[in-house]
Structure 1
Amino acid sequence: MTRADDLSEPSVASHDDALAPAAPPRAGTPAIARVALDTPLITLFDYRLDQAASLGQLVQVPFGRRQVVGVVWELTQRSEVAPAKLREVTSVWHELPPLGDDWRELMQFASRYYQRGIGEVALPAIPGHLRTPMRWPRLLAQRGVQRFRIADGALSTLMENVPARLRAQRRLAEGLAQAGTLDADEAKALCAKAADVLKQWAAAGWVVVETVPFHETVRDAEDAEDAERPDDGDASSSTLAEVLDDDVDSASPPGTKTLTVGQADAVGAIHDALIAAGAQRLDKTPTTDDAPDTPACPPFLLYGVTGSGKTEVYLRAVAEALHTRDVRDAQVLVLVPEINLTPQLEGVFRARFPDETLVTLHSGLAEGERARHWLAAHRGEARIVLGTRLAVMASLPHLRLIVVDEEHDPSYKQQEGLRYSARDLAIWRANRLRIPVVLGSATPSLDSWNRAEQGRYVRLAMPERATPDAVLPRVSLIDMEIERKRQRVVHEGLSQPLLAAIRARLEAGEQSLLFLNRRGYAPVLNCDACGWISDCRRCSAHMVLHKPERRLRCHHCGAESRIPHACPDCGNLDLAPLGRGTQRIEEALAEHFPDARLARIDADSTRRKGSAQALFAQVHAGEVDILIGTQMVAKGHDFRNVTLVGVVNADSALFSHDFRAAERLFAQLMQVAGRAGRAARADGPGDVLIQTRYASHPLFASLMRHDYAGFAAQQLEERRVALLPPYTHQALLRAEARKLDDAMAFLKQAREIAATPALNDPRISLWDPVPMTMVRIAGTDRAQLVVESPHRGALQRFLTQWMSELRALKAPVRWHLEVDPLEI
C-alpha cells in the first residue's frame, strides 16, 4: 500500500482489483469509498463515507488543501489505513446518475493497457465543468439546447436588412428560413460570427431564441416500436445539408433510395449483425481481454473508394441501430478524425434524423457546451453522439453501434497525456458490449487491412462511386525533372501543364483544388551572403516564414518573432525565402490568375472558431474558383464542382526514416485525389495531377491504378520481412530533460533494469536508447527507447512490471510510456 501522509493527502489503496464487486456495508457501519482521482499515483484513495453512494458516483473530496472531484470506484467496510487518518467524503452528486459498469470497465482497460493510473484515465474523460462542484447546480438546470428561429412575420424585414454583400450573414438568414430552426453549431457552419449576429438580430426582434429540452427532442420509445421505420428517402428531411450541399461522401440525396450493390451488401451485413448482437447480449457476457483487437463481434472494415457512399451506409446503419428492439432509447457513437469534419457530417445526420437528439463532443466546444452535451449522452437523452477521439470515452448507457470514419487517420491517436488510440478503444468497447463497430476508409490502415486478410475483421467492399456516371478520377504524373529541362516550370514550382489545367477549369466554370501539406509562406528564411537561416532558438527546427503577418513562427513550440530587416549575422539586406508553403502558392496563383476567386484553408486561415466552416461553405456555394489547402481539405469533403486536383511537392515523405511514411503518403494522396470528379461530368472523370521528381516510384504506379490492395500487399510483405507492425507489437519510452545526457542516462538505466533476471523475457526486445529525430522542442531535449515483442500479452506483462520499477526511480527527467506508438 502507498502512503502520502507527508503531503497531507488522503490514504490510498491499490486498484488492482478495482472492478471486483464490493460487499455492501453493514447497516449502521460507515462505508469506505475508494475514489479515483486525477493524480499520477497508481492508486485509489480511501475516504470515510457517511452517506449513501453507488459505484460510479461523482463525489467531492478533500485532497491536500483542495476540494476535488473523483469517482467512487469501490465500496468496502475495511481499509488498511487507521480510522483516525481517514478523511470524509464532502458531498455526493446524487442528482447525476452513476457512471455505469461498462464505462468503468472501459476506463479500467485503458488504464491497464496504456499503463496509467485509473484516475489519470477516468477523470480527464469527464468534462471539466463536471469536475467543478460549484458548477453542478447550473449544469443540472441547463437540460436543453438553444435554437434560433425567425420571429413571426419578420422574414421579409430580416432579408431587407441583410445586404447581399454580407454573404455569410445572408447565408445564415437563408439557412434560418430554409431549416426553420438552427442551433449554435449549425449557425456557425453558415456564418463564423453567428453568435454576435444572432444576438443583434434577436435584439432587433427579427430572431427568437428558444431553449429546447433534450428530452423533448427524443422520440418516445413506445411510439418508435409501433411506428413504421423512417423513410430514408423522405424529401422533407432536406435541411442544412441541401443548403450547403454538404452531402458528405456522396450520401444519397433526399428522395433517392437506390443503393449500389456494394452499399446494399454492407447495409445488409450490418443489419444482420445488429439483430444477432441483440440476441447474443441476452445469452452471455464476454470476458475481459487484454488486447483491444480480439473482438467477440468481429468489426466491419468498410472499404469503399472515395465517393462510394460510405456515409449513406453509416446513415442506414444508424437508423437500424436506433430502432433496435432489445433496448429502450438505443444510442449510436460516430467518430470522425478532425473537428473540421464535424459540422458538415452533423448537418447530414440532422437532415436524416430530424426527430432524434444529436450532440457533438470535441475539444473545439466551449467547456459548458461540452459538459451539457456529455450530460445529454450520459442521461441517455442524446441518441446520436458525433465527435472526435475524446468522444470514445463518453458515457453512453444504451450504446448499440459505433462508427469510426476514416479509421486509418493518425489523428485518432492521442499524442499527449494518456496516449490512447480511439479506434482501438472503440473496437474493445464494441467487443465488450457485443455490438457492431464499423471502420470506414478508402485507404484502411495496414493494421486493419491485415486483420481483414486474416479473417479477424469482416471486409465490406464498395469498389464503385455512388453517384451514377461518376467514376474515379484520372491520376497523372508531371515529371518535374523533365519540366525543368524543358523550362516549363513557370512560377514558384508550378508547372505549365498544371497551370494550363487550372485555366481550363476556370473557363469551364469548374473548381480546382491545390494540395500542399505545408502551411506558411516558406519553411525557412535564408541569407545568401553568410548562410544564416531562421532557426528556432528553442527547437531543432526552423522558424517558418508567414509573410502576410510579417512573422517568423516555430510550428513546434509556438515561438514568434518579427521578420528581420537584415541578416542578424552579417547585415545583408537580401534575405530570401526557401521552399514553399500554402501562402506562397496562394500568392503565385493570385498573380497568374488575377480574376480567379481564391481561398486558402489551413491551420492559419482557420484559427478563429467557425472560420473553417465558413470557408468550406463558400467552396460548396461556388464562391471559390481555386482552393489551396493542407490535409484539412484532403478527406471527408464532398466538393461537387471540383474537377481538378493538383498536388504540389508530394516527394518529401518518399524517403522518410519513418516506416509508416509511405502508408501515410499513399492514404493522403488517395484521399485528396478522391475530391475530384465526385459528381457526374459530361466531359468524363475528374483529373488529378501530381508534380514529382520520382515518377518511377512504385507508390505512384499503384496510385495511378487506384490499387490500394496491391500497395497494401507490397507494404505488408516488407514489414513482415523486417518484423515491423503489425507483425510485432511496440512500446516507446520517451525521456525529456534540459540536457540530452540526462535523458539518455535515464533510458540506459531503464534498459539495465529490463535486463535483470526478474524482468528478462526472451520474447521481449529492447533497442538501444537514441536521441529523437527532432532532439529539442521548447528548450527540452528528448530521447527514446523502443520495446517490442511478437506477443502482445508478453509485452503487456513486461510493461506492467517494468513500469513499477521505473516509477521508483528518482531521476531529473520527465518520462512517459506510449503503447502502440505511431511515430518513432
Structure 2
Amino acid sequence: MPDFLRPTPRVLRVAIPSPLRRLFDYRPAGPAPSDGWHPGLRVRVPFGRRQVVGVIIECRDESELPLADLKPIDACLDDAPLPEDWLWLCRFTARYYQHAIGDTLHHAMPALLRQGRALAARTREHWNVTEAGHADAPAGLERAPRQAALLAMLRQHPHGLVTQAVLAQSFTREQLKALVNKGLIERHEQPVTGGGPPKGPALAEPALPLNGEQAAAMGALHEGLDAFHPCLLHGVTGSGKTEVYLQLIEAVVGRQRQALVLVPEIGLTPQTLERFRKRFQVPVVALHSGLTDHERLDAWEAAANGRAPIVIGTRSAIFTPLARPGAIIVDEEHDGSFKQQEGLRYHARDLAIIRAHRHGIPVVLGSATPSLESLHRARAGDYRHLRLTRRASRHAPARLELVDLRGRPRQGGLIAPVIDAIKTTLNAGHQILVFINRRGFAPTLACHACGWLAECNHCDAHMTLHRQPPLLACHHCDHRRGLPDACPDCGSADLRPLGSGTERTEETLAERFPDIPVHRIDRDSTRRRDALERTLGEVRRGEPCLLVGTQMLAKGHHLPHVNLVVVVNADAGLYASDFRALEHSAQLLEQVAGRAGRSSHPGRVLVQTLHPDDPNLRLLAARGYDALAEQLLEERRAASLPPFRFLALLRLESPRDSDVNELGERVAEATREHIEQRGLNVDCLGPVPAPMERRQNRYHMQVMLGADKRSHLHEAGAWLIAWLEAEPTARRVRWSLDIDPQTLA
C-alpha cells in the first residue's frame, strides 16, 4: 500500500531517555511528517513535569491504556526517520546488554540531537570561478584592479574558497558580489564537514610497497570485500598493520563505500587522522569526546549522508550511521578502552563484529597482543587469522630483559645498572622511554616513625602524593587535601614518599641528566588541549630526550627514535585479584616494549621486577606474548572462564553496607531458585565484596552469573533485572548488570 494511503496509527510507542526498560504510549498530534509516522522519528513529548526528546520505536493501533488517556506528542522534530541501521544497532545493543532502550538511544546520538536540534548540515559560503571567469581576458575588469586580483586568486584554487579565506586576503564582500553580477564567479552553500570531495583520484600520495606477509593479508582481505569477513590481523608492533588498513580503505573508497576505523584512545586520534588525511584526498572525519557539540553533529551527519567516506573515532563512534558501509577496522582490538564501564556497558569491538555481520561487510581486528577472546575465535576458525611477524625496520622485536630489583637501592624507582643503560643510550644520540604506570610523585605518603599511611577518607585506597601542585589526591574519587605538617597518629615530622610515580621519576632523571630534555606524559601533564600532540611533535624531531609516561604512551604511538624502553615496575598489575590481570599486564608490557627499535637501530627493553623467577613473566620474556596467551587459554579452559564461558556481573552499591549486604543475599538466593526452577545451566556466585569495597563513601557488592550458553545467561539476566525492578529494597541501592564484564573492579 502506498504511504499516502496508509492509515495514521492511533498509538506511537516512544523510547524516553530514562533508566526504565519500557516504551511509553502517546497519541499522534499536529501535522504528520511528509512520509507519515515511522519508527526512528524524534518527537518532543511530555514526561512527568518536563518535556523530553524521545524516538518512536513502534506505530500501533492499540494500547494497554484507553486511547483517551494517552497524552499527545508536542511536536515531531524530523521530516525523515533517523538512519535505519543506527536504530537497528541501538535496539540490538539495548537487548544484548540488558539496558533501557531510551537510555541507549540517548547515549548513541550526538548531544544536539538529544536537545531537539535538526539533523542538518551546517553550511558555509563557497566561491568558484565560472566558465566565463576562466576566459583569457574577462570583460568588465579594466578599471577594477581589486576585482581582477580577486578573480586571479580564485583561479588558483580549482575547488574554490570559502568566504573566510577570501576575506582573510583583504578582499571584501562587495568585490565578491561584483564578480557574481558579472557572471565571473558563482556562490554555493557547502557543508562545513565532508563537503566537496575532490574530483580527482582518492589518493593524495601513493601507497607504500607491501612485504610478502602484508601482501598475503591484503589478498585475503580483498577476497571478502562483498561479504561478512571477520579477520584478526595479528602483527608484531611496527609490522605495518596501519599500511594494511590504508590499502584496504583505498579499495573500499574506490568502490564508493565508507570505512569506519575505531581507535582506543582520543590521544591516538590526531596521529591517525594526520596519517589518513595525508594519504587520502577524500574527506576524513573524526568522532571523539574532544569535539564540540557542533563538530560532533557535523561529522555524524556527514557520515549518515555519505559525504564522509572515512570515519575515525573512539569507542562511541561505533554508533555512527553510514550511508554505504564498506568495512570496519578496530585498531588495538584488545584494549580495555573499547569497553564502556559506566551506564550503557557495551563493548565497541563486539558491536563492530555484529554490525559488520548485519551489513555483510569485512571487519578487521588489529593488534600485536590480541585479546584471548579474539585468539580463541581465530583458533576455532570463526575469524581468519592473518599474521605479520616481520617489522618494517627489519629488526626483530626487542625481547624483555628482566632486571632484579631485590635488595638494590633505587633513585626515582630506577636502580644503578638501568641508569647506566640510560646514560649509554643518550650518549649514542638516541631517545629513552621510561614507563611507570603511576602518575603523581609517589603512590602514597608514609610516617617513618610509626608506619602511618595517607589513606582516603572516602575509599579503601591510599592517597597519591603530588608535587605539582603539592597535595594528596585519591585517584579513585578525586578527593584532595593538603600535605600534613606532621604525622596525624604520632606527631612525627618524618614523613616520606613511599614508592615512585611519574613526577618522582621525572625529577630524578632531570637531576641526573640536566642537559637532556625530560618529557612527562600522563593525565596530569596533558590536560590542556593538544598538549600531548605538541609534546610528541617535539619528540619526533629526533633529538636525544627522555620520555616518562604512563600507559598513554604504550598505545600505538610511533616513536621512531626510541631505542631503549625501561619499565620501572612490572609487578604492579601481575598479581591483582582479577582473573584477566595477567593477560592485561602482559599486553601492556608487550605494547610498551614495542615502542623500542622501530627505526634503523635495534631496540632494548629493561623490565625491573621483584619477581624475576615468576614463571609467567619468564615465559613472556623468553618467548613473547603469543606463547603466554596459549598457556593462559589452556588455563581458562580448565577453569571454565571466558572465552570458554559467558559471564554477567551484577554490581550493587549504596552508602550503607547493610543495604548492599541484605540485597546481595536476597538477590542471590532468588536467582538460584529461579535457575533451578527453569533448569538453566547457569551458576550464581556471591554475593562478595568488590575488590575495592568502599569507594566514594559507597559500599560495593557483586553477584556473578556464569553460563556455557549465552541464551541461558541472558534469560537469567532478564529475570534478574525484572526481579530487581519489582523489589522494594532495591530502591535503596544503585545496581547495574554488566554483560561480558572486562574487569571486576
Q: TM-score range by the shorter chain?
A: 0.7 to 0.9
Show CA shifts across 1:344-396 (max 9, x none).
Answer: 00100111112x12211111222222122212222222221111110111222
Does 1:497 find its partner at 2:424?
no
Q: Residue 143 of structure 2 corresponds to which residue in structure 1?
A: none
Query: Quick one: which of 277, 281, 290 aligns to 1:350?
Result: 277
Q: Residue 64 of structure 1 corresponds to which residue in structure 2?
A: 48
Does 1:744 find its partner at 2:661?
yes
Aligned residue for 1:49, secondary structure, equals coil
Equivalent-residue separation in structure 2 for 1:375 and 1:141 (angstroms): 6
**CA contact under 8 A between 1:99 and 1:395: conserved in structure 2?**
no
Q: Residue 251 of structure 2 corresponds to which residue in structure 1?
A: 320
Q: Residue 160 of structure 1 corresponds to which residue in structure 2?
A: none
Q: Residue 12 of structure 2 corresponds to which residue in structure 1?
A: 33
Show CA shifts across 1:116-165 (max 9, x none).
Answer: 121121121111111112x44xx74624699xxxxxxxxxxxxxxxxxxx
Equivalent-residue separation in structure 2 for 1:575 and 1:796 (angstroms): 52
Does 1:80 find its partner at 2:64?
yes
Aligned residue for 2:311, secondary structure, equals strand
**CA contact under 8 A between 1:342 and 1:387: conserved in structure 2?**
yes
Query: Quick one: which of 47, 61, 79 aligns to 2:26?
Result: 47
Query: Quick one: which of 589, 612, 616 aligns to 2:532?
Result: 612
Show CA shifts across 1:775-819 (max 9, x none).
Answer: 111110000011101111111122122221221111211111001
Could you tell which deviates more after superposition, 421-430 or 211-220?
A: 211-220
Show CA shifts across 1:437-457 (max 9, x none).
Answer: 000000000010011111111
Equivalent-residue separation in structure 1 for 2:269 and 2:471 (angstroms): 31
Q: Which amino acid aligns with 2:267?
A: N
Show CA shifts across 1:452-486 (max 9, x none).
Answer: 1111111000000123x3332243221222xx3xx
Show CA shifts across 1:670-695 (max 9, x none).
Answer: 101110010122xxx11111111222
Alignment of 1:620-635 (within 5 A): 620-622=540-542, 625-635=545-555
Q: Residue 210 of structure 2 corresponds to which residue in structure 1?
A: 259
Report deviation, 1:706.
4.9
Alignment of 1:353-364 (within 5 A): 353-354=280-281, 356-364=282-290
Aligned residue for 2:686, secondary structure, equals coil
Does 1:781 find its partner at 2:699?
yes
Q: Which amino acid aligns with 1:798?
A: A
**CA contact under 8 A between 1:471 and 1:680: conserved in structure 2?**
no
Could you tell which deviates more after superposition, 45-54 or 737-746?
A: 45-54
Does 1:725 find its partner at 2:645?
no
Aligned residue for 1:71, secondary structure, equals strand
How many matched pairs?
Answer: 689
Distance 1:180 1:114, change over 3 A: farther
Equivalent-residue separation in structure 1 for 2:4 and 2:711 (angstroms): 37
Equivalent-residue separation in structure 2 for 1:771 and 1:533 (angstroms): 23
Q: How high is the TM-score relative to the length of structure 1?
A: 0.79
Alignment of 1:178-193 (within 5 A): none
Equivalent-residue separation in structure 2 for 1:303 and 1:29 (angstroms): 53
Report deviation, 1:230.
4.8
Q: How high is the TM-score relative to the length of structure 2?
A: 0.87
**CA contact under 8 A between 2:568 and 2:607: conserved in structure 1?**
yes
Alignment of 1:512-551 (within 5 A): 512-551=432-471
Query: Quick one: which of 481, 488, 492 aligns to 1:572?
Result: 492
Q: Residue 99 of structure 1 corresponds to which residue in structure 2?
A: 82
Show CA shifts across 1:281-305 (max 9, x none).
Answer: xxxxxxxxxxxxxxxx341000000
**CA contact under 8 A between 1:551 and 1:561: conserved in structure 2?**
yes
Report deviation, 1:203.
8.8
Q: Which amino acid aligns with 2:25?
A: D
Aligned residue for 1:491, secondary structure, equals coil
Larger radius of gyration: 2
Aligned residue for 1:770, secondary structure, equals strand
Equivalent-residue separation in structure 1 for 2:463 and 2:233 (angstroms): 41
Distance 1:216 1:379, change over 3 A: closer
Equivalent-residue separation in structure 1 for 2:190 and 2:448 (angstroms): 63
Distance 1:455 1:23, change over 3 A: farther
Q: Residue 558 of structure 1 corresponds to which residue in structure 2?
A: 478
Does 1:794 find its partner at 2:725?
no
Distance 1:298 1:567, change over 3 A: same
Q: Which amino acid aligns with 1:383?
A: P
Report deviation, 1:323.
2.1
Structure 2: unaligned runs, 5 residues or longer: 127-156, 174-187
Q: Residue 390 of structure 1 corresponds to which residue in structure 2?
A: 316
Equivalent-residue separation in structure 1 for 2:719 and 2:317 (angstroms): 31
Aligned Cα root-mean-square deviation (Å): 2.9
Q: Residue 710 of structure 1 corresponds to which residue in structure 2?
A: 627
Distance 1:145 1:447, change over 3 A: farther
Equivalent-residue separation in structure 2 for 1:549 and 1:624 (angstroms): 28
Equivalent-residue separation in structure 2 for 1:127 and 1:215 (angstroms): 15
**CA contact under 8 A between 2:436 and 2:569: conserved in structure 1?**
yes
**CA contact under 8 A between 2:429 and 2:544: conserved in structure 1?**
no
Report deviation, 1:397.
2.7
**CA contact under 8 A between 1:302 and 1:441: conserved in structure 2?**
yes
Could you tell which deviates more after superposition, 640-649 or 365-374?
A: 365-374
Alignment of 1:357-506 (within 5 A): 357-467=283-393, 469-481=394-406, 484=407, 489=409, 491-506=411-426
Q: Residue 145 of structure 2 corresponds to which residue in structure 1?
A: none
Q: Residue 334 of structure 1 corresponds to which residue in structure 2?
A: 261
Report deviation, 1:709.
2.4
Equivalent-residue separation in structure 2 for 1:413 and 1:624 (angstroms): 37
Aligned residue for 1:258, secondary structure, equals coil
Q: Which amino acid aligns with 2:714?
A: Q
Equivalent-residue separation in structure 2 for 1:742 and 1:452 (angstroms): 44
**CA contact under 8 A between 1:511 and 1:642: conserved in structure 2?**
yes
Equivalent-residue separation in structure 2 for 1:397 and 1:180 (angstroms): 28
**CA contact under 8 A between 1:23 and 1:75: conserved in structure 2?**
no
Distance 1:791 1:213, change over 3 A: same
Equivalent-residue separation in structure 1 for 2:679 and 2:520 (angstroms): 53
Report deviation, 1:768.
2.0
Show CA shifts across 1:10-32 (max 9, x none).
Answer: xxxxxxxxxxxx99797665542
Aligned residue for 2:481, secondary structure, equals strand
Q: Which amino acid aligns with 2:431?
A: Q
Q: Residue 155 of structure 1 corresponds to which residue in structure 2?
A: none
Q: Residue 289 of structure 1 corresponds to which residue in structure 2?
A: none
Show CA shifts across 1:573-625 (max 9, x none).
Answer: 22111011000000111111111100000011011222112122121123660
Structure 1: unaligned runs, 5 residues or longer: 1-21, 147-178, 184-198, 238-254, 278-296
Q: Residue 148 of structure 2 corresponds to which residue in structure 1?
A: none
Q: Residue 268 of structure 1 corresponds to which residue in structure 2?
A: 219
Equivalent-residue separation in structure 2 for 1:84 and 1:371 (angstroms): 38
Q: Residue 129 of structure 1 corresponds to which residue in structure 2?
A: 112
Report deviation, 1:493.
3.0
Q: Which amino acid aligns with 1:647?
A: V
Equivalent-residue separation in structure 2 for 1:41 and 1:437 (angstroms): 33
Report deviation, 1:270.
1.0
Equivalent-residue separation in structure 2 for 1:495 and 1:446 (angstroms): 34
**CA contact under 8 A between 1:754 and 1:760: conserved in structure 2?**
no
Equivalent-residue separation in structure 2 for 1:126 and 1:565 (angstroms): 50
Aligned residue for 2:107, secondary structure, equals coil
Equivalent-residue separation in structure 1 for 2:235 and 2:499 (angstroms): 36
Q: Residue 191 of structure 2 corresponds to which residue in structure 1?
A: 213
Query: Quick one: which of 89, 92, 107 aligns to 2:73?
Result: 89
Q: Which amino acid aligns with 1:102?
A: D
Q: Residue 3 of structure 1 corresponds to which residue in structure 2?
A: none
Equivalent-residue separation in structure 2 for 1:319 and 1:716 (angstroms): 36
Equivalent-residue separation in structure 2 for 1:23 and 1:88 (angstroms): 26
